[in-house]
Each structure stands twice: as C-alpha cells, then as structure tokens.
Amino acid sequence: MVDLKQMERVGIQLVRPDGHLTETGRDVWERMPEDRKRAFYQWMVQVRLFDRRSVTLQRQGRIGTYAPMEGQEAAQVGSALALGKEDWIFPSYREHGVAMVAGMPLDRILLYWMGRVEGNRAPEGVRVLPPYVPIATQIPQAMGAAWAAKMKREPSVAVAYFGDGATSEGDFHEACNFAGVFRLPVVFFCQNNHYAISVPFSRQSAVPTVAERASAYAIRGIQVDGNDVLAVYTAMEEAVRRGKNGEGATLIEAVTYRRGAHTTADDATRYREDSEVREWTEEKDPIARYERLLMEEGLLTPDRARKWEQRCRETVEAAVKEAEAAPAPPPSHLFAHVYKDLPPELVRQRRQLTGGDETHA
Amino acid sequence: MPEMTLVQAINEGIRFSLELDPSVVVLGEDVGKNGGVFRTTEGLWDTFGDERVIDTPLAEAGIIGASIGMAVNGLRPIAEIQFMGFIYPGFEQIVTHAARLRTRTQGQYPASLVVRVPYGGGIRAPELHSDSTESLFVHIPGLKVVVPSTPYDAKGLLLAAVRDPDPVIYLEPMKIYRAFRGEVPDREYEVPLGCARQVREGEDVTLIAWGAMVPLAEQAARILAKKGISCDLIDLRSLYPLDEKTIIGSVKKTGRAVIVHEAPKTAGLGAELTALIDEHAFLWLEAPVTRVTGFDVPVPMFALEDDFRPNLCRIEEAVDQVINF
C-alpha cells in the first residue's frame, strides 16, 4: 500500500534529469542486462520518430486526426518492456509506443489513424486490444481479463493504460474497487501528462496525486517519474511480479508531460504557457537524459545514436509505404464482423450496398 | 416432465450452462448467497461456489466491463443487472464495447457474453424498477436481444444465449416470473435465437407480442375468438434478429396486424415491426398496422401502472379497429 510520507511529488526516480543515476538507480542499473539498457533507448527513439512522422503525415493529409505522444516515451516504453507475451494490454488512443513494443506492427498503427479497422487487429499472440476511445472504459475490462486469468490460474496480468483525465470517470473507480475486493492481477497504469485536452490535473482531482487514491481500494499505489524509463520499468516489473504472485493490483502513476497537443485537431497554445512546455522539453526530456546516461556508461556513442536514428527512420518509412500500399477495403467489409452470422436484414442491406456483387463479401 | 415457473426455468438454464461449460461464470449484485433478489440464481452459489457465482460490488459498468474483459480472456460470463432501470451505468460498456468489439477487432474478440435483465412492469415495484427499454438495445448493431414468455423457452433461450457467439441481452419479464407453470424438460436443449413462436393460429388478424404481453394477448385472443374473430398470435421471443419469415407469413395470411408492447410507443419496437410489415407485405394489408403500447410518458409509479400498460380492453379495441377499417 502507498506510503504517503515517502512519496515525493515527482515520484520514484532512478535517473535524474541530468542523466545521473540515483543511489538506488545505480543498484538497479548494475543488475540490468545490457541489451535491456539498449532496448529502452532504441524503442524510445523509434517511438518518437514514428510519432513525429505521424504528425507530419496528418499535416500532409495522409492520415486522419492523430493523437501525438511525444514526451511520454519513457512511460510507454519502460512499462511495456516489463510485460511478457502472456500479459494483456488495454490501451487508450495515445499508446502507440506501448503497442509497438508489445509487437503491434507500425503499419497497422498507421492504418488505424488512416481510419481503417485493420489497424485494430493485433497479430496472433500479441495481446493488445484496440485503442479505447471513450475515456476509462478499458479499465474495467482489463480488470475483467485479469479476473479471468486468476480464475484460470494463468500467470498473467492485464494492464489498463489511461491518462489523468480518466481517473475522474466512474469506470476507473469501479475497476480499482473490484480489483481491491477480488485481489486481481491487474495493473492500472496512469500516465499523468497533466492535461485532459485543456483541463489541468488540478481540475480533475483535489488530492495532489493519482497514486494516493490506491489506498482507498486497498491496492498498491506508486508514483514514478514517468520520464525516467528505468524507474517506470522497475515499478512496472514489480507490479507485474506482484500480480502474478497473487499479491493483487497496483496503481502506477507515471508523471510525464504531453509535449504536443491533445490531437492534431487541438491547439495547445490556448491553454498552456510556453515556459511550461519548454521546461518539460529542455530540462525533463525522457530520451535526452537516458542518452546522456548511456553515453556516460559507454553504451552509446554519438555515431551509433545517429545510425540508430537512421535505422528507425527507415523502419518508419517502410511502414508508411506498407500502410499506404494497403488495398482499399471493399465496401462489403462494413458487414464482415458485425455478427458471426449475418441476420437476414443485414444480408439485404449488404446486397443493397454491393448491388448483389458478393464476391468480396 | 417437470413443471416449473419462468424463474425456475431460468435458474435451470443457468445451472445447465454452469454444469456443461466450465468457462461459464455468473456475476452480479446479490446473485450469490442470496440467490438473486428474484431468486433466479437460487442454489447456484451453493453448488458452484464463490468463484463461479460471484456477488460483485454494486456497480453496473464494473459488472458489464468486467464481463467483457472476461470474455476477451476466454470465459463465458452471464452478468445479471438487477433491474432494467439500473442498467444505464453499464449501457456505455454494452454500446461502445460489447456490441462492437467483434467488428472492431475483425472477429478476433467477439465479446460472447449474456446480460440478464429483469424488465417491465406490473408487479407494483418501487419507482424506476419497471422500465421496458428493449428498443434501446435492439437499435444497437452487434447485439442480440431475446425475451422468453414461457418456462420452456426461458431455459432453452438461456442455453442458446450462453453458447451464442454474439453478445446477447436476455430480458426477463418480471410480471410472469411466477405467474404460471409450464413443462420444462430435464435435459439440455436450445431454443434458437431469431425464431418466433406461433402461440395460436388464426385467420383474421395477427397479434404480435413478447414477454409479459404474450399471456395478455393470448387472453385477448380467447375473448376475441368468442366474438368470432380468430387471431394468429406470435410471440417474438427474439427481438433481434427478428423472425421475419414468421411475421410476414402471418400478416400475408391475415392482412391485419396489431402489435402489443409495454414500452412507450414512439420509436418502440412496434415502429420497426410496422415498417417491416410495410416493406414486405404492403399489398396484403387490409388495414394499417396498429400498435397497443405504453404511453409516451415516463414509466409511472405503480399507482398508475395499470393505466400505463396495455390491457385487454385496449387490445380488443385495436383489433376491432383493424377488422372494421
């Protein structure tokens, strides 16, 4: 359970914004395999470049309205890397980083933002649900999936990803409450990026942290610096371990910042000060601090960083090409999966749409 | 063959489902130790234990949301919402997720689950306990909606609903939970979704009803028969999908139709049935399709519920009207 006295506003931090490890951070670091240390960096760069490219694609009219996640790379990559293939992910619409790490192909993520349902479907063995658009509705479902895992005696957790705005919804409360009552292996992962579109966290909650709400449900609550990939990973790893050990649910609050607008249809300058954005961009950037750490530890050179960036750009471009080359779905696909077997009225409506041409049905 | 009430037959259906399929779980408020406020789940908690017959916190969105998550992860949940008037906090989970998860994931996660809901009036229940908002659910693509009106159908429809690959809203007419007994086979059987029941054969007018309106329409048909009017009575059983063949076939035979439902008139299911008949049997009609429904007012407190709900007199009047058009 959360210890309010020990909890600082910024939460647990293992890598300081200047790239230096804290004392505990050093311990964690020493025990961490090298490929994992690299994976944090590689994924964060990949995710950021994908995100920036997506914003450009939207401006060019090549994808629809897009929800940028720049600034939240550490929260997403750090948490997703702590999950196994057996774990379930119930994301919101800003979790492209999580989805990518979990195995969602980049071109499918792009297809989603091109308004295509194919982008919702994860490959076989990738337990990522489609983005949940109505706020907080994924949280009770993650709780239910975790419940099923518990009943089936399967060692897996379900993770609900959501933002600070979602904590005002009843669904958040109901899910936390069930999870506490039934001691379910679920992780509630809140990226507190400070704004629900334009409304600041102070308008969502009179208590200063999301994490402390956990005590009301007798689940574990923990606040981490969401821009510290090592801290996020460590918190998530522990939450997953506890879940699988039958120790119940954890509410993780990753304190981070949505650097861009809510979506490409939003103008964040209407409600945020430049100085605030600058502070989070220049002083608290999740990638810059980790890059510094890796370089100091001799795991990264500027040259290798450039090469990796180049490779990521190529990966993104290949995904863009793939997504844009995907053949348009036939109109009959409207009816493809509404029911397992189409009722007569829907068969008629499909015929009406296709003019009787059922070849692509 | 054992005779039982509707509520006992539903209990039997749930019991069989739990016995036959280890992935079936029952969850809801008071469904466990208490056996449900209507005793629909009586004895199931004792037999199947706390892990499969689960008393949940009092939270409809939580119950339905959890059920969807369970279905995603391989269980077959039967969720109970205590009264239809209380389902609305869970409505979002039904409409935005249960109904369209199959479409949204291209068949990957079909959200196969059953939501059981006692509905309708006529039992002098407290305020806001007597809603009949079935058309809200019928309107949502991706859902199926069924209503039994006999003990036989109650068990068979429940077994079919639990095995159905799509999410099913299973409505239970409270008024006739214990109104009569009927034969219910002590074995596994299904009443298929999408099939209406021909309750009574007649030549002059088609009566269409479901739930607690079926016995009322049956009574009306008996009275009308004495006056020389023979009614073809159809119990829809399945509100979505509709058994178009039976409905249209009957109207083509009789040339007249009266639809009886206790939900308010405007945009009720009667409107959809009227359009269906219009589209498929217009040239066979001898009179406009007529509706006998609840009035377009909020469901009243019980002092006035008999005035709100369709009754014999109103059904007879409507039949007279279509016969003498």
- The phi-psi region of residue B39 (left if phi > 0; otherwise alpha if psi is between -120 and 50; otherwise beta) is left
- On whether both B24 and B136 belong to a single domain, the answer is yes
In the numeric block, which tokens belong to residue A199?
């409304």
Q: Give CA–CA dist B249/B246, Å, rounded.
A: 5
Q: Give CA–CA dist B57/A170, Å, rounded.
A: 13
- B97 catalytic residue (yes or no): no
- On whether both B94 and B127 belong to a single domain, the answer is yes
The angle subtended at Cα B127 by Cα B125 and Cα B129, nearest 5°, is 60
Residue where a domain terminates, one of B183, B209, B229: B183
One-letter amino acid for residue B79 of the chain: A
Q: CB A304: neighbour CB atoms within 10 A?
A: 14
- On whether both B178 and B45 belong to a single domain, the answer is yes
- On whether both B170 and B68 belong to a single domain, the answer is yes
Chain B interface, mutation test: which of A87, A147, A153, most B Cβ atoms within 10 Å? Answer: A147
Domain around B75:
3-183
Question: Are the beta carbons of B73 and A181 separated by less than 8 Å?
Answer: no
Closest among A141, A134, A211 to A179, alpha carbons compared: A141
In angstroms and rounded to an integer, the radius of gyration of the C-alpha atoms of chain B is: 19
Q: Which residues from chain A sit within 8 angstroms of residue B194, using beta carbons?
A: 343
A111, A179 Cβ separation under 8 angstroms: no
Closest among B186, B196, B199, B147 to B9, alpha carbons compared: B186
Q: Which residues fall within 8 angstroms of residue A157, CB to CB, at 6 or more apart?
A: A83, A87, A88, A146, A149, A185, A186, A187, A239, A240, A243, A244
Q: Give CA–CA dist B99/B180, Å, rounded.
A: 34
B215 assigned to some structural domain: yes
B272 assigned to some structural domain: yes
Q: Which of B129, B139, B261, B280 is catalytic?
A: B129
Question: Are the beta carbons of B69 and A171 separated by less than 8 Å?
Answer: no
The 10s digit of each residue's pLDDT in A320-351 is 999 999 999 999 899 999 999 999 999 999 99
Determine the pLDDT at residue A310: 98
Q: Which residues from chain B sit within 8 angstroms of residue A330, using beta carbons?
A: none
pLDDT above 90 for B60: yes
Among all residues of A, which ones are annotated catalytic?
258, 262, 271
Determine the pLDDT at residue B23: 98
Q: CB A132: neighbour CB atoms within 10 A?
A: 25
Determine the pLDDT at residue A7: 44
Partner B contacted by A205 (CB < 8 A): no
Give the residue from chain A lying closest to B76, CA to CA: A148
The 10s digit of each residue's pLDDT in B143-156 is 999 999 999 999 99
Residue-averaged pLDDT of chain B: 98
Q: Give CA–CA dist B42/B155, Å, rounded.
A: 15
Question: Are the beta carbons of B106 and A145 separated by less than 8 Å?
Answer: no
- On whether both B177 and B213 belong to a single domain, the answer is no
Band the pLDDT of A360: cuts 50, 70, 90.
very low
Band the pLDDT of A6: cuts 50, 70, 90.
very low
CATH of the domain at B313: 3.40.50.920
A186, A157 Cβ separation under 8 angstroms: yes
Residue where a domain terminates, one of B156, B183, B210: B183
Overall domain count for chain B = 2
pLDDT above 80 for B51: yes
CA distances from B141 to A189, B76, B98, B241, B325 (A): 32, 21, 10, 10, 36
pLDDT above 80 for B24: yes
Question: Are the beta carbons of A117 and B103 separated by less than 8 Å?
Answer: yes
Q: Which of B96, B104, B165 sits opposite A120 (nearest CB)?
A: B104
- On whether both B31 and B111 belong to a single domain, the answer is yes
Residue that has been written with the tokens 């509905």 in this structure: B119
pLDDT above 80 for A9: no
Question: Which domains does chain A possess?
Answer: 23-329 (3.40.50.970), 330-361 (no CATH)
Determine the pLDDT at residue B127: 95
Closest among A197, A209, A214, A292 to A255, alpha carbons compared: A209
- On whether both B213 and B131 belong to a single domain, the answer is no
Q: CB B133: neighbour CB atoms within 10 A?
A: 19
Band the pLDDT of A355: cuts 50, 70, 90.
confident
Chain A interface, mutation test: which of B51, B53, B72, B113, most A Cβ atoms within 10 Å? Answer: B72
pLDDT above 50 for B129: yes
Residue-averaged pLDDT of chain A: 95
Chain B residue set in contact with A, beta carbons under 8 Å: 25, 51, 56-57, 59, 61-62, 64-75, 77, 89, 92-93, 96-97, 102-110, 141-142, 144, 165-166, 194, 240-242, 244
Determine the pLDDT at residue A98: 98
Q: Which value does ipTM take for this structure?
A: 0.95
Backbone angles phi, psi at A323, to 5 degrees: -65, -40
Q: Give CA–CA dist B56/B63, Å, rounded.
A: 7
Q: How far is A78 from chain B (nearest CA, A)?
A: 24
The 10s digit of each residue's pLDDT in B177-207 is 999 999 999 999 999 999 999 999 999 999 9
Determine the pLDDT at residue A1: 40
Question: Are the beta carbons of A129 and B109 separated by less than 8 Å?
Answer: yes
Determine the pLDDT at residue A357: 63
Give the residue from chain B lying closest to A148, CA to CA: B70
Give the residue from chain B lying closest to A157, CA to CA: B73
B168, B215 Cβ separation under 8 angstroms: no
Determine the pLDDT at residue A170: 98
pLDDT above 70 for B244: yes
Residue where a domain terminates, one of B183, B207, B238: B183
Backbone angles phi, psi at A277, to 5 degrees: -60, -40
pLDDT mean over A85-110: 98
